Amino acid sequence: MTPGAISPNIPPLSDKYLYIPSGGVCMNFSDKRKVMVMPEKEEDEKKENNGSDVFLPQFILIVQNRTKLIVLGCIAALALFSICVIGEELISRRFNRKKLSFHSQRQQIYEVMSRRPKPVGISSPITNENGLFWSPFIEAAVSPGLNDIETDIIMKKLREKRVSKALKPDWLHCGRDKNRYVIFEDGSEACSRNREPRFIQGEVMAFYLARFIGLRNTPAVVLSKLSSKQWKSVDLEEPVIDGTPEITALIQWIPNLVKDIMPQSFELAEMSNEELSTLIQWGDMIIFDYLTGNFDRVASMQDAAVREKRPSILKETIHNLVRSTDTSSLWLIDNESAFLSGYSLMYEEEKGERFLDFHAKALGSLCVFRRRTIERLEFLEKQTLNPAELLLGFINKREPLFKELPPIQLDSLFSAKFKERIFEVMEWFRYCKDRSPLVMA
């Protein structure tokens, strides 16, 4: 990709949202009809004026009255025209402020939010002075999630605990048939993902990318060998275990989760702190799914809505997005389609163009960001090493078994497209920054 140019995958800017009819229509009040005077009436007119040499014909009186009407009409027309011009200028200025790419129904949501400085119940601005970042006050409404120390403790326990049961999953416990609902000897729980290596790799890579860019709402993931002592107490003849890959992914169990839906209201004046925190987390999710190419969350629902011609699908609960009833945090679960499967779908399959478009439209709805997320992406963008190499190195230092999965080549589709998609996100951020009316000189 040529530096400085937005990827061709991102739809071009469209002028159709900015079309303002030029000028108004001014009526012509001039009366061009001729007034005919019959000659035989002149003597009568003189008599009515007592023979005076000063003759004022009736048609002149008519013309004088009409002249007054014409003058008044033109004054009114001029005033109307002035109002049209001023109104057009005001409308044009307002629409120019909202110019965005990505023709999505929700494309102006976040930009509108950046111009609403104080919703009801909030005593400080929702964004900082340039309208690009959420303010610290509003970010404080978001549950901080698990910090690195807490996450390391959870991962250590996932690696060391003995498995006592590996049960068949259901939709309330670990989802798909090839997964397992794991119960450890101390009674704690986890999910075990047993699928093709690319799905296991996707889950691990998504988790470490989330930690790298500061997202704290993806469950912890560790790899485990079914032949290790950790699984010694489990009957390996059980159908749920038999025939599965040697390496499985153990995923942190998050209790008290409920399915969640897309935000339906975007009137900030009516939003609670919880609703604002939801918008912040949705912004991070949009960027995260764009980078990873995840097709099994919002994008799959966009696809279903288009294929079935049912926009109402987007009002249903979102795939692989749940909310904690304890903290109101959104959790991004089941990230197995990230990177390897996601990129393969988007760039190598016939239907991939649709998913590229879905992700681009979602990114185009976002023009207010978390500062931490953008700073981490700026760091990745500026590194001399390919971001794919950085991420894989980051994983290999922390997950010993990752090297035992099929190798991911640095000249692969993942390596090329991960760098490209980071650049596209940052290009979109710079686009929002350049066009924000609140940017300080």
301 inside domain: yes
The answer to whether the beta carbons of residues 321 and 285 sit under 8 Å apart is: yes
Considering the domain architecture, whether residues 140 and 196 belong to the same structural domain is answered as: no
Lowest mean pLDDT among 77-86, 114-123, 318-327, 416-425: 114-123
Is 50 a residue whose pLDDT tops 70? Answer: no
Is 371 a residue whose pLDDT tops 90? Answer: yes
Q: CB 141: neighbour CB atoms within 10 A?
A: 18
Q: Mean pLDDT across the stretch 345-354? A: 93
Q: Mean pLDDT across the stretch 281-298? A: 97
Considering the domain architecture, whether residues 246 and 380 belong to the same structural domain is answered as: no
31 inside domain: no
Lowest mean pLDDT among 349-353, 395-399, 413-417: 349-353
Considering the domain architecture, whether residues 424 and 312 belong to the same structural domain is answered as: yes
Per-residue pLDDT, 357: 96
Is 43 a residue whose pLDDT tops 90? Answer: no
The answer to whether the beta carbons of residues 333 and 258 sit under 8 Å apart is: no
Tokens of 4: 């400085």
As a whole number, the mean pLDDT across the chain is 77
Place of tokens 């079309």: 19
12 inside domain: no
Per-residue pLDDT, 116: 33
User: What span, in angstroms and rounded, lies between the C-alpha atoms of 316 and 297?
Assistant: 12
21 inside domain: no
Per-residue pLDDT, 137: 86
Between 434 and 206, whose confidence is greater?
Answer: 206
Is 251 a residue whose pLDDT tops 50? Answer: yes
277 inside domain: yes
Tokens of 365: 């709805």
Range of the domain at 327: 109-144+257-386+393-435
For the chain, the straight-line distance linking the first and the last C-alpha, in angstroms and rounded, comes to 30
Considering the domain architecture, whether residues 190 and 132 belong to the same structural domain is answered as: no
13 inside domain: no
User: What span, in angstroms and rounded, lies between the C-alpha atoms of 351 and 303?
Assistant: 10
Cα radius of gyration rounded to whole Å, the chain: 33
With a pLDDT cut of 90, the percent of the chain lying above it is: 54
The domain boundary, picked from 213, 237, 252, lies at 252
pTM comes to 0.71
Considering the domain architecture, whether residues 93 and 115 belong to the same structural domain is answered as: no
User: What span, in angstroms and rounded, lies between the C-alpha atoms of 341 and 425?
Assistant: 20
Considering the domain architecture, whether residues 116 and 92 belong to the same structural domain is answered as: no
Considering the domain architecture, whether residues 87 and 62 belong to the same structural domain is answered as: yes
DSSP 73-116: HHHHHHHHHHHHHHHHHHHHHHHHHT--SS--TTTTHHHHHTT-
User: What span, in angstroms and rounded, lies between the C-alpha atoms of 440 and 290?
Assistant: 29
**What distances in angstroms separate CA 63 from CA 36, 41, 48, 60, 70, one per listed residue?**
12, 18, 20, 5, 10
The H or E element containing residue 164 is: strand 163-167
With a pLDDT cut of 70, the percent of the chain lying above it is: 67
Considering the domain architecture, whether residues 185 and 318 belong to the same structural domain is answered as: no
Q: How many domains does the chain have?
A: 3
The string of pLDDT tens digits covering residues 68-121 is: 666 666 676 666 666 665 555 554 444 443 333 333 333 433 333 333 333 333
